[in-house]
Amino acid sequence: MNVPRFRNTGIDIFLILSFIIPFAVYMATLAPSVTFFDSGEFLTATASLGSAHSPGYPLFLMYAKPFTWLPFGNIAFRINIATAVSSSLACLMVYVLTVRILKHETLLDDGRLSAILAKGAGLAAAVAFGVTPRLWLQSNHDKPYPLLAFITAVIFYLLFQWQEEYHDGIERPSYIYVCTFLAGLAMAVHQTVVLLLPAWFLMIVLTDWRMMLRIKELLLAITCALVGFLVQLYLPLRALSNPLLNWGDSKTVGQFLWHFLRKGYPSTPPVRDLPLWWAQIKAFNISREFSWFGAALVVVGLVWLFRRHRTVFVAYLVSVAVFILVIAGYLNTPLEVIFLTEEFFTPLYLLTAVLVGIGLFALLGVALERFHLPRPFTAPVYGVIALFFLSLPSALCAVNYFENDQHKNYIAYDYAVNSLRSLPQNAVMFTWGDSGAFPLWYLQGIERLREDVDLPHTPHLVFGWYLDSMPRVFRYSNLRKFDITMLDPESALRIAVQENLGIRPVYIDFSTRYSIEFREFQPTQRGIVYRLRKNSEPTGIPDLALWENYNIRGIFEKQSFLDLDTGKAILIYANSYLEAGDFFAGINRRQEAIAMMKKAELISPDMRGAIDQIRTRYGLY
């Protein structure tokens, strides 16, 4: 049976599917609320049109803000949809770039068949990219990297278009002007866009090196880049309005530069050795993202590019080299945070997905020429071709679905709510660590939960702009009498605690409790947080009723999604139950002790050894 011919309706169904399929997957696995890491901070900054951590991410915040006006879900869910959309647009650009590069390729002397197969390869590459673990992880909650990947892909597309018209004898420098404008604009999404500048520069020079000698065109290109960069004015303009989250308070030129240049993150590079160097390089891992079959397709795609599009081949390899040299070489990322730098490679993985599509098309072309199939193709032949295209994206989706399914991930939301439920009226709780603080910021600032409580973040106590943002706690603080930049966060915390003790209830979160040794204060457990008292005060007894009011969805079941901080939060519950059980056993309240330790063991079976030691010590068997 012959397959009926496709009707040319003017609608590219493959293009539409390259967006819809990834978007449907992301919506099915989307986080329902705030998550850990930077999520709560981005959510708060977006909803309040404020400023996120350095360098501020103004374009991402402005892009995501309209999604907060959607008429369904909470604010966090709506902003998570914004990231799902930007990731799906990035997948769409994989399709567009693949089809664009394969535009003039012909298989079996049949231009129409070749166009359909190129679209099939582009769709397969787009969906495969959509279900890679790195992009999928970024697509289920608020992240700026998919938006950056989309913008950089648009720039590559415009450069391809400019190259083709140049080779046809048409000079269109306007394409370059738009590219430089978008590059300047992309700086307001993430600064790693500068790592792609050498590749774009080479694509231009290898095509028309004389352009570098035309002063007028150079000045126009630079001007367009500066116009795009002007979106950074968002930071000082919004700072003048004192938004809810005003990281860096960029009202002055000096404070803007401090924020933009990331001066708030001083660090001492680790001593480089071979294992660290290799771990840094492996942060860019094609086989982990696309499987070994996908990596083989990348090699095929590179060989194909080397023969037909040498400038694109050079641009890709230069991009990879620059990213690795800067991130692994210049930044010298410490081993414990290398996983954070893996997010920077998202634009490179988008280009790698294009190579996957080219590799699929090239392999299929070789197979069709070798088997000499009768024409026109029958339905079984088209079925085999479809299976060939679907094999990689289907396998990647099956492998990565479970660990990226966040549609029931309430761990961060519940952890923050439970922490706030533990606090009495008008309390102040000092936090330590982004994942402990940011969900609290979102719940209090955006969902308006427990506005009577103050939540200072200890690492920020050494910044004047941060003290200004919390006048209820620090308006008359002694911290303002010191050069706080010379203090360490621990010293600043001790001063702040001493000032508030006796005036209002003072609490610390679990991370603060076990990050600092409190000799002058006595931490008393209250659920998953701790009240600080003077050593002369009685300790009190842990409140069991507090535990009964906690919402602990997903704590006792195996989680499909389990990143580093989600796993840490679950262990905090287990340790808190264990600590309470140890306390109750010490005062001979055996039933409560046994019940608390059973819960600790249910959450974390690995703690059984520590639990058995307590049971043996108090004879609880």
Q: Residues 148, 234: one domain?
A: yes
Specify if 610 maps to a domain. Answer: yes
Q: Residues 496, 592: one domain?
A: yes
Q: Residues 71, 92: one domain?
A: yes
Q: Residues 331, 421: one domain?
A: no
Kindly list the distances between the CA atom of residue 376 and the CA atoms of 75, 265, 383, 389, 467, in Å, as whole numbers in the listed order.
Answer: 53, 63, 14, 20, 74
What parts of the chain have a pLDDT lower than 70?
1-9, 266-267, 374, 485, 539-540, 621
Burial of 418 (0-12, 13-18, 19+ CB in 10 A): buried
Question: Any residues with CB less than 8 A from the CB of 22 and at least 6 apart, and which?
Answer: 87, 88, 91, 126, 127, 130, 131, 139
Q: Which of 380, 404, 428 delimits the end of a domain?
A: 404
- At 521 the pLDDT is 86
- At 28 the pLDDT is 95
Q: Residues 379, 417: one domain?
A: no
Q: Residues 319, 445: one domain?
A: no
Specify if 4 maps to a domain. Answer: no
Q: What's the CA gap between 300 and 363, in Å, rounded?
A: 8
Q: Residues 228, 111: one domain?
A: yes
Residue 124: both structure tokens together: 């397969």
Q: Which of 377, 404, 431 delimits the end of a domain?
A: 404
Q: Residues 394, 419: one domain?
A: no
Specify if 6 maps to a domain. Answer: no
Q: What's the CA gap between 417 and 422, in Å, rounded?
A: 9
- At 455 the pLDDT is 94
Kindly list the distances between the CA atom of residue 552 and the CA atoms of 190, 203, 220, 560, in Å, as whole numbers in the listed order.
Answer: 35, 54, 58, 16
Q: Residues 247, 351: one domain?
A: yes
Residue 541: both structure tokens together: 């007894």
Residue 277: both structure tokens together: 């160097």
Question: Any residues with CB less than 8 A from the CB of 15 and at least 6 apart, and which?
Answer: 92, 95, 96, 119
Which helix (H) or strand (E) segment holds residue 46: the answer is helix 39-47
Residue 90: both structure tokens together: 């990035």
Q: Residues 157, 228: one domain?
A: yes
- At 8 the pLDDT is 54
Specify if 174 maps to a domain. Answer: yes
Q: What's the CA gap between 361 and 98, in Å, rounded?
A: 10
Q: How many residues can be counted in the chain? A: 621
Residue 132: both structure tokens together: 């890679």
Domain that holds residue 190: 13-404
Residue that is written with structure tokens 């056993």 in the block: 585
Helix (H, G, I), strand (E, B) or coil at 531: strand
Instruction: For 102-246, list the strands marked E by DSSP.
Output: none
| Strand-pair partners of 508 | 430, 530
Kindly list the distances between the CA atom of residue 467 and the CA atoms of 310, 427, 456, 508, in Å, as whole numbers in the listed order.
Answer: 55, 17, 9, 18
DSSP type of residue 327: I
Q: DSSP string spanning 490-520?
A: HHHHHHHHHHHTTTS-EEEEHHHHTTS--SS
User: Are the beta carbons of 531 and 507 closer than 8 angstroms?
Assistant: yes
Helix axes 379-404, 111-130, angle to 10 degrees: 10
pTM: 0.92
Q: What's the CA gap between 109 and 124, in Å, rounded?
A: 23
Residue of 278, 379, 280 whose CA lies nearest to 323:
280
Its sign, for the CA torsion 222, 223, 224, 227, is positive
Residue 570: both structure tokens together: 């679950």
Q: What's the CA gap between 420 and 188, in Å, rounded?
A: 34
Phi, psi of 109 (to 5 degrees): 55, 30
Q: What's the CA gap between 575 and 597, in Å, rounded?
A: 9
Q: What's the CA gap between 580 and 540, in Å, rounded?
A: 12
Residue that is written with structure tokens 């390259």 in the block: 18
Specify if 197 maps to a domain. Answer: yes
Query: What is the 3-state composition of the chain as percent helix, strand, coil, each rounded to the nearest 5?
Result: 65, 5, 30
Q: Which of 363, 386, 404 delimits the end of a domain?
A: 404
| Strand-pair partners of 428 | 454, 506
Question: HEC string of 337-393?
Answer: HHHHHHHHHHHHHHHHHHHHHHHHHHHHHHHHHHHCCCCCCEHHHHHHHHHHHHHHH
Specify if 1 maps to a domain. Answer: no
Kindly list the distances between the CA atom of residue 293 and the CA atoms of 290, 356, 377, 387, 506, in Å, as whole numbers in the listed order.
Answer: 7, 9, 27, 15, 56
Phi, psi of 79 (to 5 degrees): -70, -35
Specify if 3 maps to a domain. Answer: no
Specify if 7 maps to a domain. Answer: no
Domain count, the chain: 2
Q: Residues 495, 557: one domain?
A: yes
Instruction: For 338-483, list the strands marked E by DSSP.
Output: 428-430
- At 271 the pLDDT is 77
Residue of 76, 73, 147, 82 whose CA lies nearest to 441:
76
- At 9 the pLDDT is 54
Q: Residues 445, 472: one domain?
A: yes
